[in-house]
Amino acid sequence: MSRIFTVTFASVYPLYVAKVERKGRTKAELDQVIEWLTGFDEAALSRHLAAGTTFEEFFADARLSPDASLITGVVCGVRVEQIDDPLMQKIRYLDKLVDELARGKSMDKVLRTS
């Protein structure tokens, strides 16, 4: 089991916020991306942050977007679409979306809308 599975989402979330804000994007945009991927609205996301939910628990509770399989590309030198472990793949999906948001991609492209 990877160590990231037991890390709390609340400990990584501020890093995601800092990354996107450093690149001129907003926390609201990040939350929109998280909602698209996980199905968590603002209240559910706040509950997970307050509860100290681990990544494993966070994604176990999520309703992954049906379009999540459209997320492709490389994160940390590994193609996300080729990751065998389902939980690790979900974590890397989130990492990929945060990277795309920080790089300035339009929300339509980040959220895979046609």
Query: pLDDT tens digits for 65-84?
Result: 999 999 999 998 999 999 99
**CA angle, residues 52, 23, 112, in degrees to nearest 5:** 75
**Residues 36-56 pLDDT 10s:** 999 999 999 999 999 999 999
Domain hosting residue 29, numbered range: 3-104
Please check whether residue 112 lies inside any domain of the structure: no
**Global pTM?**
0.93
| CATH code assigned at 20 | 1.10.8.290
Residue 114 pLDDT more than 90? no
Please check whether residue 84 lies inside any domain of the structure: yes
The number of domains in the chain is 1
**Residues 81-105 pLDDT 10s:** 999 999 999 999 999 999 999 999 9
Rounded Cα distance between 29 and 7, Å, is: 23
Residue 32 pLDDT more than 90? yes
pLDDT at 1: 58
Please check whether residue 114 lies inside any domain of the structure: no
Using only the alpha carbons of the chain, give its radius of gyration.
Answer: 13
Please check whether residue 7 lies inside any domain of the structure: yes
